[in-house]
Amino acid sequence: MNDFLSGTVFALCCVAGLFFLRFWRKTRDRFFAYFAASFWLMALHRVLLLLTRLGDNEHVVVAYLVRLLAFVLILVAIVDKNRVGPRKKAASSRDESPV
Q: Which helix (H) or strand (E) holds 66?
A: helix 61-82
**Which residues of 1-99 form beta strands (DSSP E)?**
none
pLDDT on residue 17: 96
- CA distance linking residue 61 with residue 39, whole number of Å: 19
Question: Which pLDDT tens digit goes with each residue over 16-62?
Answer: 999 999 999 999 999 999 999 999 999 999 998 888 876 666 667 88
Domain segments of the chain as ranges: 2-96
Looking at per-residue pLDDT, the higher value among 97 and 24 belongs to 24
90, pLDDT greater than 60 = no
pTM of the model: 0.77
Looking at per-residue pLDDT, the higher value among 8 and 84 belongs to 8
Amino acid 33 reads A
- CA distance linking residue 36 with residue 14, whole number of Å: 9
